[in-house]
Structures are given as C-alpha cells and as structure tokens.
C-alpha cells in the first residue's frame, strides 16, 4: 500500500499525474460485418466514428474524458475485433454489469437496427476492463 510518505517532497502534482498510465479508448468492432456481411472498410470506420463521438459526448463531464480531450496530440485508441453480434452484445452486458459499471456506447446502425461496435470511455486500462474484453472474446484488430 502506498502513502503520501512514499512520495518525495520535491514531487510536483504534474509529475504524479504523468506517472499514471495514459488514457486510452478501446473500440470494439464486429469482424463479421466486414467478412461475412460484406460491409466495406469505409462504412465500418463511420460506425467507429459514431460510437466514439457518442461516448465522448455522454461522458463529457467526467474528468478522464475532459483530460483525454485536452491532450489532442497524445490521444490513444485501441481498435479491437469481436466475432459477431452475439459477442458484441455479451461485451455490452459485461461492461454494464461490472461494479461499478464501465461507461461505453454500443452503436446501433439505423434503420437496420444492427449493433456494429462499442466505444469505451477514456480509461487507464484497468484490470477489470482487460478481463471483460478477454471474457467477451475481444482481440486486437488484425489487418
């Protein structure tokens, strides 16, 4: 366990903040839309843009989101893939049922009513998120 006694007196608040892991957004996209459903790369990129804009808007008052948006040159995103609609819905359920729930937005393309991707609010990649991504079968996007 760490205490303020472990931090040298000469350490500034800015140095402490820089010691935190960087903020990142994870975006999980259904791979089957590209391969089995015949969607193009452009339409999938639009889905990612929609989900990203939505979660940033929904969490605009949260300190992590504000910090993420204030550092435009250092924004980090990780694009992951999931196999199909069932795995995307499972991921959303796991994120919603976490304690506390993990902020995310599942984009559902209209008028077709097709869930396409999920964007997580900016976060510091805590172990809860990694475990949920693993449990849902989400993996880094492969070419």
16 domain-assigned? no
60 domain-assigned? yes
What tens digit of pLDDT does each residue of 16-40 get? 555 789 999 999 999 999 988 899 9
Regions in the chain scoring below 70 on pLDDT: 1-18
Domain count, the chain: 1
116 domain-assigned? yes
Q: Report which secondary-structure segment, H or E, holds 139.
A: strand 139-140
2 domain-assigned? no
**pLDDT value for 140:** 96
Q: Count of CB atoms within 10 A of residue 63's CB?
A: 9
**pLDDT value for 70:** 96
**pLDDT value for 44:** 95
**pLDDT value for 17:** 53
4 domain-assigned? no
Q: Return the DSSP state at 62.
A: S
CATH code for the domain of 34: 3.40.1490.10
């Amino acid at each position: 366990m760490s205490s303020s006694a472990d931090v040298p007196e000469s350490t500034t608040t800015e140095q402490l903040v820089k010691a935190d892991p960087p903020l990142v957004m994870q975006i999980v996209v259904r791979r089957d839309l590209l391969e089995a459903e015949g969607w193009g790369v452009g339409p999938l990129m639009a889905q990612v843009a929609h989900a990203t804009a939505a979660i940033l808007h929904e969490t605009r008052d949260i300190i992590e989101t504000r910090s993420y948006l204030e550092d435009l040159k250092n924004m980090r995103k990780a694009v992951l893939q999931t196999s199909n609609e069932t795995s995307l819905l499972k991921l959303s359920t796991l994120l919603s049922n976490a304690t506390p729930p993990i902020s995310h937005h599942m984009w559902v393309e209209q008028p077709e009513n097709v869930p396409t991707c999920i964007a997580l609010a900016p976060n510091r990649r805590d172990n809860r998120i990694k475990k949920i991504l693993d449990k849902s079968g989400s993996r880094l996007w492969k070419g």
